[in-house]
A and B are shown apart, each in its own frame.
Chain A
Amino acid sequence: MASVTVKNLFVSYHRGRTIAVDHVSFAVEDGKFCVLLGPSGCGKTTILHCIAGLIRPTSGEIIIGERVVTSTEKNIFVRPQERNVAMVFQEYALYPNLTVRENLAFPLECQRLPKKEIAARVQSVAELLGITDLLHRRPAQLSGGQRQRVALGRALVRQPTVFLLDEPLGNLDAQLRVQVRYELKRIQRQLRATMIYVTHDQTEALTLADKIVLLRSGKIEQEGSPQEMYEKPANLFVAGFIGSPPMNFIEGQVLTCEGMLLIDAGIFKVRAEALGIAKNLAPGTKVMLGVRPADINARPSSPQDLLLPAIVDLLEPLGDSAVVHVLSGNFKFTAKWEGGSLKPGGLVSLFLNPRKIHVFTLPDGMRVSKIEDGAAGRAEEAFP
């Protein structure tokens, strides 16, 4: 396995009128699981194709392991068939005329491995993915989920430098998706494989990734561990994209009152100091406050908690808990509810720890860092 480094990758189409990837740089360490995350059309597939050598970027450099495989500056381009990357495509792309066994064996035949070894590897991958019964079938005779597993298997039979997976679970039903996702993570750990995985599903990203690269319109918005992205979203876009149900946002303004800095959000006022922000905001600054539904509780967690009286609008039961949509004044928000039963139209008291409120300055939408950020950063390094 190998590390992957992408430097200043730029891809434009239509003579520069469409920019698919805009000076993207990131690195994936050897044996790590990296997720490229972002809304549709943000350039995820294009980046993956560049790494695989299927697209020559307009400019930029890609290094796999020690080897420069693409460099517009040094005029280097290694052909895809010589990069030894295993790719699973958004479409399953199984060879229609070959059986499942032949599909799985195809990449190994290309490496001219001995027949015996091919047969053995195909067999073990088929067992791993539970498709031994399907080996004699053709792709047209398989269900969507089975096809997807064959496509995964065709990548796993190889010993590539890196796995590139483009929404490989997109067409599976919810249950199978969770199962295959788990399998994939287990296999990745077991093989210590470097994987770059594309998805627009943030849950998938949070559960799978060692590192997330979040993209929008061809640019990186933030990269980091799932925990970092969740706890310290760099800006409003990241905050809104990561987490389900999404973060609640409420606009506010910084005021001074009797020498104290306050943030007035309409339905509540909060002392700036209580938020634990690392820098002082000038009075008059407009801010956006963000609160995750999970941080709004039925019971207070500290004496500083803000109380939000609200009217229940809608209840989405999730089995053990529920997502409750409530109205406070004319502000609508969602909360994770683990208390007793609620009725639409009923009154409810919700508590919110001000420490958990994310503050973003407007209009740039950048997060205001918090006092605990530094400490958390250090704690994370100790984490293996």
Chain B
Amino acid sequence: MSTLVGRGLVVTVLVVVTLLYLLPLWGAFTTSLKTDEEIDLTSPIAWPQRPTASGYIGAFNHLKRALLNSVLITVGGTFGSVGLGAICGYVLALHSFPGANLVFLLLAAGIFLPFQAILIPLFQTVRALRLYDTIGGIVLAHTAYGIPMCAVMFKTFYSEVPKALVRQALTDGSSPWRFYWRVVLPSTKLATVTILIFQFTSIWNELLFGLVLGGPRSMPATVALNNLVGTLAAQWNIQMAGSLLLAVPVLIVYAFLGRYLVRGYMAGAVTAV
């Protein structure tokens, strides 16, 4: 009997917490479908009497350039940092070379560098490279900043590949590269997906690099949305619609790949014998 009560209690708490979490999202959703007048008159969580897509159309018109920028920046930055990080992680985990420990130490230190600390030198570097206000400049920044985290995560996953396999591959006449493409990468798909999602979400949601390195031509959607708040003071429906638009790609990624993410975190992520 008491377990039943206990379970009921737990479920109630979970439901309440979930509702609390969902409430702002719900508010944003309903607001995004309302007209300006209705927003002023009704409670934020009430369902609109006459739902309209005008908020979305307005938001999309304001953000379309920035959304495209975001897509380019995110795709470039994700593949850049994950690709290079994977190679670093592979070599660090499975091939020894002189100075490997030092390299690993420096990479690990790179993870703990706060954004803010490198912002000014980063800005100066990017400008010196004549990449200020270009997609390429922001992609470069995300790639460089993401490599340490990716490398360390990949190293952790790849360390579970048995060393005997590496020795076998080398005596089979394989180059380290071939072994990577043919064996390591295909047997660690979960790890790759996990890290891809991780990088995708962090770069998509990132604001500061875009703010500092981006200008009118290259600003990502996060920056554009932030500007929207400043310029369209009262147009809540457009702002809410914009926020939701920004969340869509992340939601799609989670919907399709989320199950890998959970498995990647839970399991060893390596299907080695």
Residues B272 and A110 in contact, CB atoms below 8 Å apart: no
Contact of B173 among A49, A89, A97, A107 (CB under 8 A): A107
Residues A95 and B182 in contact, CB atoms below 8 Å apart: yes
A9 at interface (Cβ–Cβ under 8 A)?
Answer: no
A152 at interface (Cβ–Cβ under 8 A)?
Answer: no
How many angstroms between the C-alpha atoms of A85 and B168 in the bound complex?
A: 11
- Knowing A95-B183, A139-B273, A140-B273, the reply to whether A110 touches B173 (Cβ < 8 A) is yes
Residues B173 and A111 in contact, CB atoms below 8 Å apart: yes
- Knowing A91-B164, A97-B183, A97-B187, the reply to whether A110 touches B172 (Cβ < 8 A) is yes
- Knowing A85-B171, A97-B186, A154-B172, the reply to whether A110 touches B164 (Cβ < 8 A) is no
Residues B272 and A106 in contact, CB atoms below 8 Å apart: no
Residues B164 and A89 in contact, CB atoms below 8 Å apart: yes
How many angstroms between the C-alpha atoms of A93 and B171 in the bound complex?
A: 12
Residues A93 and B165 in contact, CB atoms below 8 Å apart: yes
Chain B residues with Cβ below 8 Å from A92 are: 273
Number of A-B contacts (CB under 8 A): 76
| Chain A 197-238 interface residues, beta-carbon cutoff 8 Å to B | none
How many angstroms between the C-alpha atoms of A229 and B11 in the bound complex?
A: 76
Chain B residues with Cβ below 8 Å from A140 are: 273
Chain A residues with Cβ below 8 Å from B172 are: 81, 86, 106-107, 110, 154
- Knowing A81-B173, A96-B272, the reply to whether A89 touches B182 (Cβ < 8 A) is no
Chain B residues with Cβ below 8 Å from A83 are: 171
What is the interface of chain B mostly: helix, strand, loop, or mixed?
Answer: helix
Chain B residues with Cβ below 8 Å from A158 are: 173
Chain B residues with Cβ below 8 Å from A89 are: 164, 167-168
Nearest-Cβ distance from residue A69 to partner chain B, whole angstroms: 12
Residues B164 and A96 in contact, CB atoms below 8 Å apart: no
Nearest-Cβ distance from residue B160 to partner chain A, whole angstroms: 11
Residues B167 and A93 in contact, CB atoms below 8 Å apart: yes
B271 at interface (Cβ–Cβ under 8 A)?
Answer: yes
How many angstroms between the C-alpha atoms of A111 and B255 in the bound complex?
A: 43
How many angstroms between the C-alpha atoms of A94 and B171 in the bound complex?
A: 13
B175 at interface (Cβ–Cβ under 8 A)?
Answer: yes
A52 at interface (Cβ–Cβ under 8 A)?
Answer: yes
Chain A residues with Cβ below 8 Å from B175 are: 81, 110
Chain B residues with Cβ below 8 Å from A80 are: 167, 170-171
Residue on A nearest B189 in the bound complex, by CB: A97
How many angstroms between the C-alpha atoms of A95 and B167 in the bound complex?
A: 12
| Chain A 131-180 interface residues, beta-carbon cutoff 8 Å to B | 139-140, 154, 158, 164
With a 10 A CB-CB cut-off, give which of B172, B175, B183, B186 has the most chain A CB atoms: B172
12 contacts between A and B (CB under 8 A): A52-B171, A53-B171, A54-B167, A81-B171, A81-B172, A84-B173, A89-B164, A89-B167, A93-B162, A96-B272, A97-B183, A110-B175
Residues of A at under 8 Å CB distance from B?
Answer: 49, 52-54, 79-87, 89-98, 106-107, 109-111, 139-140, 154, 158, 164
5 further A-B contacts with Cβ under 8 Å, apart from A91-B164, A95-B169, are A86-B171, A89-B167, A106-B172, A110-B173, A110-B178
